[in-house]
A and B are shown apart, each in its own frame.
Chain A
Amino acid sequence: MLECDACAVRLGYDAHGKPFTVLPPIVPGNVLAVHDFRQVPLPGCTTRTKNWDDGDSMQGTDQGIVLTLLSGMRWFNQPFLRIRDTCLRASFDVYDTELRARVVARKQTLGDASLWYELAVTPHDQNYRLARLFTAPEQSDNTNLSGPSAHPAVLARGNNLLELRVQGPTLEAWINGAKVCAVHDAALGIGGVAIGVGTFSTSKRPQRTLLRWLEVREVAP
């Protein structure tokens, strides 16, 4: 086995002598934290029901928390956990067509700017994307690592289970128990975990999702 001189990923060679990256498997380990939104607020929040000044709202129900967005995006950051290697799983139902839900790992804040990895889906068109992102008040930008592309594992209706596994420079995206991609990206190494929900509707039509739970696990040997 050889190793890339620059980024330290392991390399193998196929029968034609062409190199390929050898990514180690990421195995979910012990549970670090579980947020069951039937009982507890979203990460970083103190209540399950709230109305924001801009018209967005969330409502606690017996199945979880229904979040209604009119525009833009809402972040729910876990404030007590910066972690490098982890497996994040989030369960949610998207009710409307102009909504994107994401699980976020290694969210790093620098002043007013942030960088992170996210696994995002838009259920209505069954698209997913694994990406590295940057945002600041004056500009946002991104680097796609896999997708955006349609995948049958993303359910257009009903409950979707998103899982982002990160271990060293290896990232894996799992959707509803199916591994949709594995990539090597060494750019970001540690940071917080979060859920992000955003609407790309320009009409301010309410977009709703039911957030059921979020689970944070260690990685296992």
Chain B
Amino acid sequence: MSAKQLSCENCGGPLSYGAPFCAYCRRPLHWGRHVAIERGEQFFFRDFSRDKLPGSSVAQMRQDGSLVPVEKENWERWGSFEPKLRDACIAVRGVALDANGDFGVYARMHAQGDAKAAYQLKIYPAFRSWRLRREAWVTKATHVSPLVDWEFSPLIGGVGTVNEVELRFSDSVFQVVLNGQNAATVVDASFGFGLLGWVCGSHPGPSQVLLQSAGAWRTR
């Protein structure tokens, strides 16, 4: 296996993590070593003190970022970034301004007609915890399946501090990177392709989250 993405050393073909052979050259594959996903070349970088936050007309641009109000309890606001990708690193930097706010990223958001499905990684600074889950939603409802439910991490800063949430994914390998440090690796092959995105949410009451920036990179 090549260290660059998940590609075959023999023919360069794309690999499925854990597959017993390369689908293109049929060469047997051996797995077992840890796959470390790192940032490669940049796809984009948005500074939300200058760049419009996609998908949210209510965000207020300020000198230090875009303020996203989530007016209802247990609610979310989100937006997506082009391009659609299989493998990438997506990071969002922001500040939860109160104890109700959380924020994070979407990966591999794709559609079946009007329905959408994606991976969502969020941090909840009030509890310094994070969560990774699969989601599928339509206008009236969201259905979820947790991969890792709210879990404490000392890497997360509390309310009022800047946190960077990053999800790196290559095929079915997902790495949760919090403030630049690897917090967890999860293997899940459920969804394989789609848009990137940002998300801000609220818990028992309305919240305000300041999103400062978002960036996406190739994996290597």
Given A111-B143, A111-B145, A115-B117, check contact A7 B193 (CB 8 Å): yes
In the complex, A24 has a CB within 8 A of chain B: yes
What mask results when residues 1 to 39 of chain B are scored 1 for a CB within 8 Å of chain A, else 0? Answer: 000010100011111100111011010100000000000
> Nearest CB to that of B82 among chain A residues?
A6
Given A6-B86, A24-B23, A113-B143, check contact A134 B136 (CB 8 Å): yes
Given A10-B13, A168-B16, A190-B190, check contact A132 B86 (CB 8 Å): no
CA distance A133 to B83 in the complex (A): 23
The answer on a CB contact under 8 Å between A110 and B134 is: yes
Chain B: minimal CB distance from A116 (Å)? 10
CA distance A7 to B110 in the complex (A): 13
CA distance A137 to B115 in the complex (A): 12
Contacts of A1 in B (CB 8 A): 11-13
Beta-carbon contacts under 8 Å, A128-175 to B: 132-134, 136-143, 167-170
Contacts of A183 in B (CB 8 A): none
CA distance A10 to B14 in the complex (A): 8
Partner of A139, one of B13, B20, B110, B115: B115
> Nearest CB to that of B108 among chain A residues?
A187
Partner of B141, one of A109, A138, A169: A138
CA distance A142 to B113 in the complex (A): 5
In the complex, B112 has a CB within 8 A of chain A: yes
In the complex, B49 has a CB within 8 A of chain A: no
In the complex, A108 has a CB within 8 A of chain B: yes
In the complex, B215 has a CB within 8 A of chain A: no
What mask results when residues 3 to 22 of chain A are scored 1 for a CB within 8 Å of chain B, else 0? Answer: 10011111000000000001
CA distance A1 to B86 in the complex (A): 19
Beta-carbon contacts under 8 Å, B71-93 to A: 83-87
The answer on a CB contact under 8 Å between B192 and A170 is: no
Partner of A109, one of B5, B115, B145: B145
Interface residues on chain B, size class:
35 or more
The answer on a CB contact under 8 Å between A115 and B192 is: no
Contacts of B188 in A (CB 8 A): 190
CA distance A44 to B172 in the complex (A): 28
In the complex, A102 has a CB within 8 A of chain B: no
- Most chain B C-beta atoms within 10 Å of own C-beta, residue among A22, A134, A139: A134
> Nearest CB to that of A143 among chain B residues?
B112
- Most chain A C-beta atoms within 10 Å of own C-beta, residue among B11, B26, B136: B136
Contacts of B16 in A (CB 8 A): 84-85, 167-168, 189
In the complex, A188 has a CB within 8 A of chain B: yes
Given A109-B145, A141-B115, A186-B192, check contact A6 B138 (CB 8 Å): no
The answer on a CB contact under 8 Å between B192 and A187 is: yes
In the complex, B189 has a CB within 8 A of chain A: yes
The answer on a CB contact under 8 Å between B112 and A138 is: no
Beta-carbon contacts under 8 Å, A31-52 to B: none
In the complex, B144 has a CB within 8 A of chain A: yes
> Nearest CB to that of B135 among chain A residues?
A110
The answer on a CB contact under 8 Å between A111 and B144 is: yes
Contacts of B87 in A (CB 8 A): 8
The answer on a CB contact under 8 Å between B13 and A189 is: no
The answer on a CB contact under 8 Å between A188 and B143 is: no
- Most chain A C-beta atoms within 10 Å of own C-beta, residue among B114, B117, B139, B193: B193
**Interfacial residues, chain A to chain B (CB-CB below 8 A):** 1, 3, 6-10, 22, 24, 84-85, 108-113, 115, 132-134, 136-143, 167-170, 185-191, 221
Of all A-B residue pairs in the complex, the 3 with the closest CB atoms, nearest first, are: A141-B113, A189-B189, A113-B143
A–B complex contacts, Cβ < 8 Å, 8 sampled? A7-B85, A24-B23, A110-B117, A110-B143, A134-B138, A141-B113, A141-B138, A189-B192
